[in-house]
Structures are given as C-alpha cells and as structure tokens.
Amino acid sequence: MSQHSATSSATAHLETGTHWICSCGLSKNAPYCDGGHQSTSLQPIELEVQAPKVVEISY
Ligand code: FES
C-alpha cells in the first residue's frame, strides 16, 4: 500500500466536465490520474467542473 502527501502543485485550466485527480502520487501525468494507482489501494479524486476555470491543485 502506498500513501502520498501533497508535495507539488500545478495550475490547471479545467474545462466543464469530470476530471480525475491523482491521489497516489504515481501518475506520470500529474495532477491527473493516468491509472498508475492500480498497484495501490488508492483511488483518484473525482472533480466535477460546472464551468471552465483555473485552479491550483496540490498533489
Ligand atoms: S494515478 Fe494516482 S490516483 Fe490514479
């Protein structure tokens, strides 16, 4: 099992819709989930965006 503490951040320009944010720290496409968590018990965080926005994501 892997645990991850936020150590990095990124500014993301998110379009309307569902985005999956990495919670495991293994994604090669951080801050977005790329499926790298499959060897852990962790799951990505679902982020629903109602209108395009710029956010700061810590991961
Ligand atoms: S790769 Fe980290 S949660 Fe999916």
Per-residue pLDDT, 2: 47
Per-residue pLDDT, 49: 95
- Taking the chain (59 residues) in consecutive chunks of 10 residues, what is each chunk's mean pLDDT? 65 94 92 95 96 90
For residue 25, give the ligand 1 atom closest to its CA: 2
CA of 52 to the centre of ligand 1 (A): 23
Tell me the domain boundaries of the chain: 9-58
Q: Is 44 in the pocket of ligand 1 (CB under 6 A)?
A: yes
C-alpha 53/C-alpha 23 separation (Å) is 21
Q: Is 21 in the pocket of ligand 1 (CB under 6 A)?
A: no
C-alpha 31/C-alpha 58 separation (Å) is 8
C-alpha 16/C-alpha 6 separation (Å) is 25
Q: Which fold has domain 9-58?
A: Ribosomal Protein L9; domain 1 (3.40.5)
